Structure 1
Amino acid sequence: MSTTTVAFIGLGIMGRPMSANLVAAGFDVVGYNRSPAPIEALVAAGGRGAGSIAEAVKGADVVAVMVPDSPDVEAVLAGPDGVFDNAAEGTLVIDFSTILPDVSRRLAAQGAERGLRVLDAPVSGGEAGAVEGVLSIMVGGDAEAFAAAQPVFDAVGATIVHVGPAGAGQTVKAANQLIVAGNIQLLAEAIVFLEAHGVDTEAGVTVLGGGLAGSTVLQRKAGNMLNRDFTPGFRIALHHKDMKIVTDAARAAGVVIPLGAHVAQLVAALNAQGHGGLDHSALFTTVEQLSGRSGS
């Protein structure tokens, strides 16, 4: 894969390990980020750095994007001197970000007008999944473009599925975030419940994980709650953004999500209280507060 050059735009919590995994897989990776430290880390891992989007994209066979929100993706792809202005015809553009499905559809159409193949490929698995290269990737777009992108996906993910046309990946990711938020909230309630009854909570979580209640959320987030360590792997602010995508898309489709809407409000409350920089497992703190057990 050393002859395939990947421009990676956005080297944050997720983009940094993903780009490093591409380097490890043999790709020639050129990274760009607004702050320089992640670029330096990529260079130390064997990649190359760029001083602008244009510099990163020129000469790239594949452009990968991992930035926080819809306006960021629009600016990176369709903004002045962005990806669309600098990518060569036929370039494969993979947006790993989580954004509104209609924005993905619009950007895919704009890219196609310029002869670019654009895929929306949001991921799930958090920072740990990115580091381990085992992300779940839900991909929307043209089937031939998906096939062409397979080697890139294989370097960063383990469960990789083409789920439909442009925007379909974002729709499935919205459903994923709905399920994850609900699981985190229920896990938080269960742990507060166990602690209130004086159970050996760590043992209780272990046995729950071996039964039908077991999940990746329980496996990866219970420790945060038990240790009250909410160092961000996936920030509350980002999940707040994602829950708005879910609720807006559900309303547009005429679908009711009563439990999801309730959890979205709890996420919004935590974000409004200034805790957007914490890991989404910090929903636990809200359950503690509502139960009168803060600091227990």
Structure 2
Amino acid sequence: MRVGFIGLGSQGAPMARRIVDAGHETTLWARRPATLVPFADTPARRAASPADLAAASDLVCVCVVDDADVEEVLTGGHGVLAGLRRGGVVAVHSTVHPDTCRRLADRARSHGVTLIDAPVSGGGPAAAEGRLVVMAGGEPGTVAYCRPVFATYADPVVHMGPLGTGQLAKLLNNVLFTANLATAADTLALGRDLAIDPAALARVLAHGSAAGFALDRVAAAGGTLDRFAGHAGPLLRKDVRLLTDVTEAAGAAPDIVLTAAGAALARMNGQGTTDDGRRPAQDRR
């Protein structure tokens, strides 16, 4: 299969490298030429535009930041849909609103192209080791068609259901992770209030029934969420907002997870802790 890959960031680059190393004829495009430099020693082809990339591909994987970026690379004047052959497939690995995928799928269909949503989770190290998780939404036959490529960087690859369900699963994953950041940071702060060394407590929790990825990330960041504010904070805030929009539109009523996620975002925004990472006295109860 000829594969085009757009979005060579910290997660996308190792995904693309796995595709190349698996022997697929691969074409790359990036806004920033510097992100292509690590592929100079590979057989991957560089495209002049998303349309040029699409013309050389059967499957185009898109792993850019947000809804606007996905729409631009697909539907712009030199976008993917201007170059992809009829019968081609687009896989959206970005985390976006399910309605964005549905709207773009309609646009793709008018070009004779099929679009599926296939967001991923695990981060760059997991991508490099081939152990991302792919949450795919779309027609079963199309997901099956893409599976050999997805399997180069992901295990498992899970078909969630119709178009949009992959995005819903990813948003739920990210909101739960955000909520877990809040509870992990609050637990370590509570331990500090009780005169327990946070590093020692984190080590114990990591080997007990409270162990988890969020706890590991918070402990590695010194027990607070301050280090998340710069890069992860805006992305998590985007995903919490998207899931909030989805739940409101569906009339769903989450009771705990969005509240806890909101608490984590508040802490990343400099609210809810003192300079030493302790909770303000009025919140210690």
TM, length-normalised to structure 2: 0.88
5+ long unaligned stretches in structure 2 = none
CA distance in 2, matches of 1:52, 1:90: 20
Shifted more, 239-248 versus 204-213: the winner is 204-213
| Contact 1:42-1:49 within 8 A present in 2 as well | no
Determine whether 1:64 maps to 2:61: yes
* Counterpart for residue 169 of structure 2: 172
Q: Which amino acid aligns with 1:174?
A: L
* Counterpart for residue 92 of structure 2: 95
| Contact 1:126-1:234 within 8 A present in 2 as well | no
Q: Percent identity?
A: 33
Q: 1:248 to 1:78 in 2, by over 3 A?
A: same
Shifted more, 126-135 versus 28-37: the winner is 126-135
| Contact 2:218-2:225 within 8 A present in 1 as well | no
Instruction: Write the deviation string for residues 198-250 of structure 1: whole angstroms up to 9, x where unpaired.
Output: 43433422332233212232344421234988379962111111111110001
| Contact 2:267-2:273 within 8 A present in 1 as well | no
CA distance in 1, matches of 2:66, 2:87: 25
Match of 1:51 among 34, 48, 53: 48
Match of 1:255 among 229, 252, 256: 252
Name whichever structure is richer in helix by fraction.
1
Determine whether 1:184 maps to 2:181: yes
CA distance in 2, matches of 1:270, 1:44: 43
Q: Which amino acid aligns with 2:117?
A: D
Q: 1:210 to 1:267 in 2, by over 3 A?
A: closer
CA distance in 1, matches of 2:263, 2:132: 26
TM, length-normalised to structure 1: 0.85
Alignment of 1:276-291 (within 5 A): 288=277, 290-291=279-280
CA distance in 2, matches of 1:213, 1:154: 31
Shifted more, 109-118 versus 156-165: the winner is 109-118
* Counterpart for residue 208 of structure 2: 211
Alignment of 1:1-296 (within 5 A): 4-226=1-223, 230=227, 235-266=232-263, 268-269=265-266, 288=277, 290-291=279-280
RMSD over aligned CA atoms reads: 2.8
How many residue pairs are counted as aligned between the two chains?
281
CA distance in 2, matches of 1:23, 1:198: 52
| Contact 2:185-2:225 within 8 A present in 1 as well | no
CA distance in 2, matches of 1:285, 1:77: 45
Q: 1:283 to 1:135 in 2, by over 3 A?
A: farther
The structural deviation recorded for 1:39 is: 1.2
